[in-house]
Structure 1
Amino acid sequence: MSFTDKAKSKAQEMSGLAKERIGDATDNERLRAEGAREQSAARAQQAGENVKEAGRDVRTSFEK
């Protein structure tokens, strides 16, 4: 995962957190749910990329 992708994913996660908190403060269930969804999507993307990186590391260690 490139630095740009990591930054975009983190920004999406922070945006979701802000929406969720604003939804909590205003009792807006739709905004709260949208924020939670954005956070989940960003975290899933980050987890997938971490798995890819771990796979590359394992492959590299066997090539040595």
Structure 2
Amino acid sequence: MDKNRIKGAVDQAVGKGKTVAGKVTGDRKLQAEGRAQTGVGKVESAVGKVKDAVRDVLKK
């Protein structure tokens, strides 16, 4: 598993937590930060998946 996939999963989890915390407290800025971090995590996860796929193809 590529390190980008791991970092992406962590970013998604932290972003989700920020989004929920922002909703609970009514902090729109925190909600926006959470959504942004979740998006970054999704992109980073996708990059890791592509790297894994390329690595698998090259091994064959």
Map of 1:46 onto structure 2: 45
Structure 1 residue 47: deviation in Å? 0.5
Scaled by the length of structure 1, what TM-score is found?
Answer: 0.75
Superposition pairs for residues 1-64 of structure 1, below 5 Å? Answer: 1-2=2-3, 6=6, 8-61=7-60
* Amino acid paired to 1:17: K
Q: Which has the higher contact order (CA 8 A, sep 6+)?
A: 2
* Amino acid paired to 2:32: A
- Structure 2 residue runs without a partner (length 5+): none
- Percent of residue pairs identical: 28
Scaled by the length of structure 2, what TM-score is found?
Answer: 0.79
